[in-house]
């Protein structure tokens, strides 16, 4: 459809919506008077219901996806509410006329309560749903429409090629081929020059022996347990020999100096033998 046809279609839609709004005007105004609204509020009440329907219709055309589904639900809900209120206005003759200040929307109390709740909740819902729809439309970003103009596509592609060719990195440097010369083929059948005599090789000297460091005369301490067979035999002294050595070593000692530790160091014996020698020597001196 061309542009003129679209304008005519939109104009016809505006005319139809305007006439439908005028037809529904009296019913919604009388309903507003019946639920206790004053003259000004009753006059503005049709804009609350039918005006939000028009806003939801525009949002449906502008949005996509889940937002469009939400706009369609708002449009359907308010359309059904307007239909119910127009239907009730047609069933209750007492509501006809702008002079009605207050009245019942139905003879049955539960139905009257439900209709009053519906009529009074529509303005509050218009504030909420209208603000949400406007916010969704303002934040919506339409997808780019692909161009069908062949000349435009060709010009865009040409400009891209030009801009890419102008870049210094896009043109690689020319590759310089390096010529490698192969050696001439060898003809094995062709007689070669006589071989030169091989020079005699120099005699190979035997390797020199490595210098071994002299062994130290100091005996090294064994780092492992020496077996009993390798140990030097130790001569054990008899108690008489130990007593004789102790007497000789402590001949010039006073009695106070004769102790087991001093005898053990001097005679080089065990602590048990040193105590025994101490007691013996002290006993001899006391006798």
Please give the model's pTM, rounded to 2 decimal places.
Answer: 0.47
**How far apart (Å, rounded) are the C-alpha atoms in residues 87 and 76?**
16
Question: For residues 74 and 56, is the Cβ–Cβ distance under 8 A?
Answer: yes
The string of pLDDT tens digits covering residues 204-258 is 677 776 666 566 566 666 566 766 666 666 677 888 888 888 888 888 888 888 8
State the pLDDT at residue 201.
61
**How far apart (Å, rounded) are the C-alpha atoms in residues 287 and 285?**
5
The string of pLDDT tens digits covering residues 168-190 is 555 566 676 676 666 666 555 55
């Amino acid at each position: 459809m061309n542009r003129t046809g679209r304008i005519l279609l939109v104009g016809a839609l505006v005319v139809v919506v305007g006439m439908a709004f005028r037809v529904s005007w009296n019913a919604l105004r009388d309903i507003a008077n019946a639920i206790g609204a004053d003259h000004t509020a009753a006059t503005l009440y049709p804009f609350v219901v039918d005006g939000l329907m028009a806003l939801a219709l525009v949002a449906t055309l502008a949005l996509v996806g889940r937002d469009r589904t939400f706009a369609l639900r708002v449009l359907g809900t308010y359309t059904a509410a307007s239909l119910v209120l127009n239907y009730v206005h047609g069933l209750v003759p007492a509501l006809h006329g702008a002079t009605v200040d207050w009245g019942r929307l139905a003879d049955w109390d539960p139905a009257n309560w439900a209709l009053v709740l519906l009529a009074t909740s529509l303005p509050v819902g218009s504030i909420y749903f209208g603000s949400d729809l406007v916010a969704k439309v303002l934040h919506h970003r339409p997808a780019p429409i692909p161009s069908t103009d062949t000349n435009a596509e060709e010009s865009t592609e040409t400009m891209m090629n030009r801009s890419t060719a102008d870049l210094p990195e896009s043109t690689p440097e020319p590759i310089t081929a390096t010529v490698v010369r192969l050696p001439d083929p060898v003809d094995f059948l062709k007689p070669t020059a006589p071989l030169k005599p091989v020079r005699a090789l120099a005699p190979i000297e035997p390797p020199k022996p490595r210098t071994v460091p002299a062994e130290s005369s100091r005996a090294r301490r064994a780092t492992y347990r020496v077996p009993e067979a390798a140990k030097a035999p130790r001569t054990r002294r008899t108690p008489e020999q130990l007593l004789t050595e102790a007497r000789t070593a402590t001949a010039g000692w006073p009695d106070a100096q004769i102790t087991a530790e001093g005898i053990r160091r001097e005679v080089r014996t065990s602590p048990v033998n040193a105590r025994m020698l101490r007691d013996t020597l002290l006993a001899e001196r006391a006798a």
